[in-house]
Amino acid sequence: AQSVTQLDSHVSVSEGTPVLLRCNYSSSYSPSLFWYVQHPNKGLQLLLKYTSAATLVKGINGFEAEFKKSETSFHLTKPSAHMSDAAEYFCVVRSNQAGTALIFGKGTTLSVSS
């Protein structure tokens, strides 16, 4: 069975400060992990993905995430927040077992103040 838990439903930061969005996963098989971003009333855009290669994954718009198997975590970070980063972020897991679909976390809303 797979599941993903986003530990914060809402994160608020000031522009120029670091961003940390936390995610823990559970998977019976070696997982692939993803972060997606969704701006209001828009579809979802892939930020980055981990697929058993390098544990530190760099994505678009300056975001990165580190896969830590011992902690079953895949936290998303960015050194300096920008106003345009305000959006909802989803952590997603997909088991490497054939035939499985993506399982989404409930999302974290990121607010960025000036």
Partner 1 sequence: SQTIHQWPATLVQPVGSPLSLECTVEGTSNPNLYWYRQAAGRGLQLLFYSVGIGQISSEVPQNLSASRPQDRQFILSSKKLLLSDSGFYLCAWSRTGPSYGYTFGSGTRLTVV
Nearer to partner 1, 53 or 114 (CB): 53
Count of residues interacting with partner 1 (CB under 8 A): 29
Shortest CB 104 distance to partner 1, Å: 4
| Interatomic CA distance for residues 89 and 76, integer angstroms | 9
Give the SS3 label for residue 61. Answer: helix
Spell out the residues 6+ positions from residue 10 whose beta carbon is closer than 8 angstroms to its own. 108, 109, 111
- DSSP readout, 32-75? EEEEEEE-TT--EEEEEEE-SS-SEEE-GGG-EEEEETTTTEEE
Instruction: Please answer whether residues 24 and 75 qualify as being in contact, where contact means their C-beta atoms are separated by less than 8 angstroms.
Output: no
Q: Does 39 bind partner 1 (CB under 8 A)?
A: no
Question: Could you say whether residue 104 binds partner 1 (CB under 8 A)?
Answer: yes
Q: Which x/- pattern, by CB under 8 A, does the window 51-90 give for partner 1?
A: xx-------------------------------------x
Binding segment toward partner 1, per CB under 8 A, in 13-21, 54-62, 79-87, 105-113: 105-113
Report the interface residues with partner 1, using CB under 8 A: 9, 32, 34, 36, 41-46, 49, 51-52, 90, 92, 94-107
